Amino acid sequence: MNDKKELVKVQEAGSWDEALEKEPWVAPLVDIYETDDNFYLVASMPGVSKENVKVKLEDGSLVMMGRIDYKTATNRKYVLQENEIGNYYRKFNVADSIDSSRIDARFEYGQLVVTLPKHERIKPKTIEIN
């Protein structure tokens, strides 16, 4: 029982850096697909609000984070618990084929959708035959 109280206390830490050090983190499930113009990365983050999602590009990597209400999640009286309780964290290398200046992200219905535009040089081209 003491462990549960300690974990709840940890959630009250305010900053993202502090949370990274003190709170539990799990990898969200991710789908990646492509079209002719873009790659799309879709990360499932149930229990996260839009205000608690962070996406950043650093040192050639895309970092995604989402914070849940850990105090509420750990204090529930579960009848069945199949999901691991924790915040979400995942990091991906961004290839040179991605135009990192045009990366876009949106959060809808518990899913983070990141659009990774392809550089023009790698898009399929139709060559006209004369």
**Count of beta carbons in the 10 Å neighbourhood of residue 36:** 8
Domain boundaries, the chain: 2-120
Ordered strands of the 61-68 beta sheet:
25-26, 87-93, 61-68, 48-58
Mean pLDDT, rounded, for 82-92: 93
pLDDT exceeds 70 at position 4: no
List the beta bridge partners of residue 55.
64
The CATH number of the structural domain formed by 2-120 is: 2.60.40.790
Whether the per-residue pLDDT at 5 is higher than 50: the answer is no
pLDDT band at 125 (very low <50, low <70, confident <90, very high): confident
pLDDT digits (tens, 9 = 90+) for 45-71: 999 999 999 999 999 999 999 999 888
pLDDT at 13 (0 to 100):
55
pLDDT at 34: 94
